[in-house]
Chain A
Amino acid sequence: MSDSTVSTNGDYVNFYQYKGKHTGILGWLLSVDHKRIGLLYLGSMVTFFLVGMTLGFFMRLELWNPGQDIMGPQTYNALFTLHGIIMIFLVIIPGIPAGFGNFFLPIQIGAEDVSFPRLNLFSWYLYTIGGLLAVASLFLSGGPIDTGWTFYAPYSLRTGTEVIMPLMAAFILGFSSILTGVNFVTTVHRLRAPGMTFFKLPLFIWALYSTAWIQIIGTPIIGITILLVVVERLFGVGLFDPAMGGDPILFQHLFWIYSHPAVYIMILPAMGVVSEIIPTFARKTIFGYGAIAVSSIAIAFVGTLVWGHHMFTSGMSDESRWVYSFLTFIVALPSGVKIFNWVATMYKGSIKAETPFLYVMAFIFLFSIGGLTGLVLGSLATDVHLHDTYFVVAHFHYVMFGGTIFIFFAALHYWFPKMFGKMYNTKIANIALAIMVVGFNMLYFTFFILGYLGMPRRYYDYLPEFQGMHQFATVGSWVMIAGILLMFINLFLGLKNGKKSGNNPWGGMTLEWTVPSPPPLLNFKKIPTVKYGPYEYEHYDEVTNNVN
């Protein structure tokens, strides 16, 4: 924090002040500046997150008593479907890559922008159109979609609710995701600053690079699967319809060929952010840079081969099942490599427990629980018992919420001063985090026990003996939501009246901390020449004094 007074503000035009061809709202909507596009994404995502959270809040309310409280089964089905679609397709998948990735990928590799800036803006438009279509489908005549976010055939072919519109929304979102992936891979290959070799890339970039590859490899498969369901509903070609000789299991295969790797689209960028935050606050070179970098690629690769573990109880040969189970266990290896390297980085570091670092601590705790319970589900014998219970829901939320969303919040707190040039109240931020962690565990740890005792997921009703635990979880959801709202309000107040943060409030070493906050339009006065790896703190003074 000591160098926060050193600032070059005043003698440059930052990207907010820059006047382009368009001003006002058009200056944002027609801007091809990666920083503005990143902020557009972040704004949209936070909005959609609050919508998804509200849906979850009402689902928990409904479960206060057994039987019907505030909504019928059909509404409940629609709520969990939309909660899933919004949170997964609109928040978690694009979350860190499209938001923070857009803002920081070019800066961290020493580039002025991404390779295809116009395509980048186009991706945001596709994302917004997809999001609006998904929300608009709520109000169509057929009623909101009730298939669950997995759209399993043949139910998705038969249900009377409005399926085509949300499916087209998912298709368009997928297209947006593909274009972002193509853009990022090209950018990393073509626009690295002089001296920035692949093994000098910040680990966040490695994570984004791996993610972009999964987006390229996986997303087209769900694209065609979704299109086929639409075609099936419109014309009835019969490819997934057992009445016409089609095989619904093939739908599940095609769906999970994408949607399992998509889980790594969701988590890898978060792991990248963690690899940025830990060395910055431990003031130490990351332990095992190469291992962490390569483990991202390894996760991306092995992750494409494990989709079958979603279908252990759907009908598959025993050979396939143990092979998928075995491959699933292998994914735990590169994930474990990351966790141990992060912890080893902290060893003998001079740790500053600032807000982003505390978020990372919460992440490591929650994600470890989520990851290990994943192994419980990955082994065949236990999966048969726990399949389709609250245990799965708990595992998923520990990994996705405790993992990705907590790191999304961590990234928000870490890069907030860089993006806006202001600092939030760190004390309140820490309190909000504590409240969130308590509420989170009350809510989702209870799910593990409920699931183990046999509470099936996606039911609006339950047996009376589960009532105590359901009510405890619902109270937990209130605590957690209070924490989240406090966090957002605190950030908003920081945005309004926070004091100037300076260029490098945390003492980071990657290139974004060498440019002013907020950065100027093309990021650098002069494209930097990179001599050292991203976390070589023995060269801290040389790197950070070379302020652009």
Chain B
Amino acid sequence: MSTNSSTNVAHEEEHGHEHVHDLRDDYGSKLGMWLFLFTELLLFGGLFLLYMAYRFEYFPEFQLSAKSLKIWMGGLNTIILLTSSLTMVLSIIALQRRKIKASIYWLITTISFAFGFLVVKYFEWSDKFSHGIFPGGEELALKTQGEKIFYGLYFSMTGLHGLHVIIGMIILTFILVFIVKGKVSPDRFVLLENGGLYWHLVDLIWIFLFPLFYLLH
């Protein structure tokens, strides 16, 4: 990432009689964002801890249940998210190189990929729901405790991740509007970078969720 205009703290006096200093500190903004991402990782960390404990306790049931998840659907979503991370970076680079149109185009592509992820997720979850496998579902009620816990974790973790995808889409859409309005510009793109960081986090968490639920059986 380019670091021009981001290492020193600059003061800009706002116009008019409003003597409020606008403190611009791009490096500080990114530092704050990284700290926030750290808290997001820990939020999921609690769930990963539960996964670890329960996988240890219910090892055979976890292996059995994992077989029922469709690898191709999870795999497709993995490809979608990884590609969306690429388009996210392309959008940032385009803006840094003053190609505003390209930046907007890549950002829209990223948001579309995020939407695509949710569509696949929707079909995946409705497939499970139609088989009576959801918390409180009649089919799941007949299964063993270990399987119930597996699906409990599956729905909690992919659900929370899905929520983050939606939040990420909202954030990126706001940034898109800011780029169109010129508030985020080739001279002031730290917001886009931070949005990108958030999006990479969403991607990263999925990269751990995919093998834990789909591949380990």
B25 touches A190 (CB 8 A): yes
Selected from A112, A181, A236, the residue in CB contact (under 8 A) with B135 is A236
Q: Which residues of A contact B41 (CB under 8 A)?
A: 220
B39:A182 contact, CB within 8 angstroms: yes
- B155 touches which of A182, A237, A250, A253 (Cβ 8 Å): A237
- Report the minimum CB–CB distance from B11 to chain A (whole Å): 9
**Is the CB of A235 closer than 8 A to any CB of chain B?**
yes
Q: Which one of A221, A253, A521 contacts B42 once the chains associate, using CB atoms below 8 Å? A: A221
> What are the residues of chain A within 8 A of B54 when measuring CB–CB?
239, 247
Beta-carbon contact of A182 and B149 below 8 Å: no
Cα separation A237 to B153 with both chains bound (whole Å):
8
Q: Does A168 contact B (CB under 8 A)?
A: no
B152 touching A238 by the CB < 8 A rule? yes
**B38 within 8 Å of A (CB atoms):** yes
Q: How far is the CA of A32 from the CA of B57 in the complex (A)?
A: 50
- A223 on the B face (CB < 8 A): yes
Name the one of B32, B42, B148 contacting A116, with C-beta atoms under 8 angstroms: B32
User: Contacts A178-B39, A239-B50 hold; do A245 and B18 have CB atoms under 8 A apart?
Assistant: no
Determine if A250 and B149 form an interchain contact, defined as CB atoms under 8 angstroms apart: no
Contact A221 B28 (CB under 8 A): no
Residues of A218-235 contacting chain B, CB below 8 A: 219-221, 223-225, 227-228, 231, 235
Which B residues touch A250, using CB under 8 A? 50, 53
Please name the residue on chain B nearest to A190 by beta carbon.
B28
Measured between C-beta atoms, what is the minimum distance from B43 to chain A in Å? 4
Whether A235 lies near B136 (C-beta < 8 A) is yes
The A3-39 residues at the B interface (CB cut-off 8 A) are 20-21, 32
Given A112-B23, A225-B46, A235-B135, A244 and B152 contact (CB-CB distance below 8 Å):
yes
Which residue of chain B lies nearest to A32 when distances are taken between CB atoms in the complex?
B20
| B15 lies within 8 A of chain A by Cβ | no
The answer, among A32, A191, A254, for a CB contact under 8 Å with B46, is A254
Q: Quick check: is A186 within 8 A (CB to CB) of the other chain? A: yes
For B, the interface residue count at a CB cutoff of 8 angstroms equals: 43
Chain B residue nearest in CB terms to A175: B39
* A221: chain B residues within 8 A (beta carbon): 42-43, 45-46
Using CB atoms, name the residue of chain B closest to A217: B42
Judged by a CB distance under 8 angstroms, whether A113 is at the interface is: yes
* Cβ A216 vs Cβ B136 within 8 A: no
Interface of A (DSSP majority class): helix
**Shortest distance from the beta carbon of A245 to any chain B beta carbon, whole Å:** 3
Contact partners of A352 in chain B: CB under 8 A:
none
A189 in the interface (beta carbon within 8 A): yes
| Docked-complex contact B32 and A115, CB < 8 angstroms | yes
Query: Given contacts A237-B156, A250-B50, are A216 and B38 in contact (CB under 8 A)?
Result: yes
| Minimal Cβ-Cβ distance residue in A for B58 | A245
Alpha-carbon distance A223/B31, docked complex (angstroms): 22
Residue from B21, B28, B42, B135 within 8 A of A115 (CB atoms) = B28
Could you say which residues of chain A place their CB within 8 Å of the CB of B57? 247
CB contacts (< 8 Å) of A220 on chain B: these are 39-43, 45-46
Whether, in the assembled complex, A522 has its beta carbon less than 8 Å from a beta carbon of chain B, the answer is yes
Given contacts A190-B9, A250-B50, A522-B21, contact A239 B35 (CB under 8 A): no
Kindly state the separation between the CA atoms of A116 and B58 in the bound complex, as whole angstroms.
Answer: 46
Question: Told that A178-B36, A238-B148 touch, could you supply 9 new A-B pairs with CB distance under 8 A?
Answer: A178-B39, A217-B38, A220-B40, A224-B44, A228-B50, A235-B155, A239-B153, A250-B53, A522-B21
* Interchain residue pairs A-B with the least CB separation, the first 5: A245-B145, A237-B152, A224-B46, A220-B42, A190-B28
Q: Which residues of A contact B (CB under 8 A)?
A: 20-21, 32, 112-113, 115-117, 119, 178-179, 181-183, 185-186, 189-191, 216-217, 219-221, 223-225, 227-228, 231, 235-239, 244-247, 250, 253-254, 257, 521-522
Residues of B within 8 A of A (CB): 9, 18-21, 23, 25, 27-29, 31-32, 35-36, 38-47, 49-50, 53-54, 57-58, 135-136, 144-146, 148-149, 151-153, 155-156, 160
